[in-house]
Structure 1
């Protein structure tokens, strides 16, 4: 075990398995269904505004996304959206909740290797039932020393989690595909953040990399295959 880092946290969606692509596919279906009422750009912008507005009400995940699509459909059609369209949006959401889990390259190997030398945690946000379903189907659940499904990822949340399951944020590292949720708040809490970009990233998760002093505890990897070597270097 490295002298400095004793606990490694992994994000789930689009870090260990694919997720965002199902949202984009469903958004494409939403645009198709409402194409008689508005242009694509307007539909996408209005939907994103609804998602941003509703985060505090519904949280992250598929259910909030479906409700935001329905709200947007009502808005752009001036409350004339056919019931059949609402039904198809609900059906699309239910299909998302049934989608199979497809692990990203090197995900299993990275978690297995980390678990041999460190405490490993899964730290994910979203709907409790859906996240539990995905974890069960992933086959990775038994590798983690603890699972944390949270409503949001902030510096205080990471501080509490790494104090509860480790030696504090100062001896912890978080791996994830979101600078906004997985990297910046961990660094703000005093830990390390490892950014592993994913091709599909939700617009509301975009952020700039850390600068100045915080950049010393920031690393970026093209994929999870390089995590072991990175741990050896920074330990």
Structure 2
């Protein structure tokens, strides 16, 4: 699963990487840097609109399907499993044609109560596979963009920390993942395989409990202490 992540990015660089035009970047909605982002908080998403253009904007982290009568569902929707997203009622419509990339600096997983920080070499941007949906509480209310992070089984040694991890989007699959005309259900198997291969590049280390915010949260614990996973 993924229920905490770090986000400290240059949004102009993110827009450039994903070919988002300046006019399609909603700077006023994007989150401020944080190293302890939790579900229901504001996150950034890259998605393709009905206009065929890519957009970079803020979103509520926990997908709320448009048919839901309430913003709070009876089950968590901040993650969607890659194995079942295409058939789960909350995620099926989004999987088909409303897919997104959720940029991140890194993310956390827990082994028991011990948090570990996962990141790319040289702290490169992570492209987390996501889904989005528009929701509003009533016909008179404004629409709100909501999103979820797709997870997959953990690869290789990462399973020693947790059995699941966010699904990563390889650069050569960004176009098809964001393309609304492509049925996402047909993409999931190939995306899962490619994303698992990409995730093997990640590095991780144990960190202190996430009881605050700031860059210190991603610092490794005292390296003189051995890391015991078992």
Q: TM-score, normalised by structure 1?
A: 0.23
The structure with the largest strand share of the pair is 2
The structure with the largest helix share of the pair is 1
Name the structure, 1 or 2, with higher relative contact order (CA <8 Å, separation 6+): 1
Q: TM-score, normalised by structure 2?
A: 0.23
